[in-house]
């Protein structure tokens, strides 16, 4: 792949990382830990520290999970970069999907290494339900959103784009 093409996709990842870190900085400065700040029904800004993975999986594991998830994110990020370098510049959809996942993975990796936990603050829930499956309801961040968007794009790529198509 031409280096200038790869630069474009890595720049997208860097923009995601910067946006993620800026919003986390704002959340840490302006929000009180575990105090919900309702924006509208079904949407709160609630600062949480997640030492585990999605939905706080392994958050009570005793500390080893910090380095496990950091190592996993680092290996996955390196794998994504290698994958991206091997792709044709015409695979724009796939490259964008990988750039989103990469940006999100590195955004959360930065938190794990520097803080020991991931800063989460976006809380979306079904306001019409009188009960919650989780207490507190799981929160997420921009990095998590980028990973979700990228993963969804990867699924679309796998099912709708064939190898010979121009993925623009």
Catalytic member of 20, 144, 157, 167: 144
Extract long-range pairs of 39-43: CB within 8 Å, 24+ residues apart. 41/127, 42/124, 42/125, 42/126, 42/127, 43/123, 43/124
Catalytic member of 20, 111, 120, 157: 120
Contact 103, 12 (CB under 8 A): yes
Tokens 């496990």 found at? 68
The residues, ordered by sequence, that sit 6+ positions from 44 with a Cβ below 8 Å of its Cβ are 36, 37, 38, 123, 125
**Is the preceding peptide bond at 136 cis, omega within 30 degrees of 0?**
yes
120 belongs to the catalytic site: yes
SS3 label, residue 48:
strand
Cα torsion angle, 149, 12, 75, 55, sign: negative
Q: What positions carry a catalytic annotation?
A: 120, 144
């Amino acid at each position: 792949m031409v280096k200038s093409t790869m630069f474009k996709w890595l720049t997208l990842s860097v923009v995601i990382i910067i946006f993620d870190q800026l919003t986390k900085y704002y959340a840490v400065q302006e929000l009180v830990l575990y105090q919900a700040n309702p924006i509208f029904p079904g949407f709160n800004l609630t600062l949480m520290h997640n030492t585990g993975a999605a939905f706080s999986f392994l958050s009570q594991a005793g500390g080893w999970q910090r380095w496990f998830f950091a190592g996993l994110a680092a290996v996955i990020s390196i794998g994504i970069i290698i994958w991206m370098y091997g792709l044709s510049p015409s695979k724009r959809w796939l490259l964008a999907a990988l750039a989103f996942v990469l940006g999100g993975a590195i955004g959360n990796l930065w938190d794990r290494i520097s803080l020991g936990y991931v800063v989460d603050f976006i809380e979306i829930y079904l306001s019409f339900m009188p009960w919650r499956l989780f207490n507190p309801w799981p929160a997420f961040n921009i990095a998590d959103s980028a990973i979700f968007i990228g993963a969804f794009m990867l699924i679309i790529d796998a099912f709708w784009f064939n190898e010979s198509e121009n993925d623009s």
